[in-house]
């Protein structure tokens, strides 16, 4: 539970901020990144997908290293 709540917050907070900006200030995301034809919204959307992927990898690593051995120990004792 120690790691689940921070990872949940790191997943949900950026997503809700992203959706909030889309809902209330969409012109912010329509701005183009300097000297490109890519909008800020596209860039941040891809960054959000990448961030969620990294958070998922972090959780899988944590679960495999700490949680799975405990589950195996419980199953072996049962």
Q: What is the pTM of this model?
A: 0.80
CB atoms within 10 A of CB 44: 19
For every one of its 78 residues, what pLDDT tens digit does the chain have, with 9 covering 90 and above?
A: 688 899 999 999 999 999 999 999 999 999 999 999 999 999 999 999 999 999 999 999 999 998 888 889 899 887
Nearest CA among 43, 45, 68, 53 for reference residue 10: 53
Separation CA 50–CA 2 (nearest Å):
23
């Amino acid at each position: 539970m120690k790691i689940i709540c921070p990872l949940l917050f790191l997943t949900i907070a950026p997503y809700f901020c992203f959706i909030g900006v889309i809902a209330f200030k969409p012109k912010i995301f329509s701005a183009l990144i300097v000297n490109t034809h890519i909008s800020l919204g596209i860039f941040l959307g891809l960054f959000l997908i990448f961030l969620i992927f990294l958070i998922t990898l972090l959780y899988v690593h944590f679960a495999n290293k700490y949680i799975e051995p405990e589950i195996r120990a419980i199953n072996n004792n049962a």
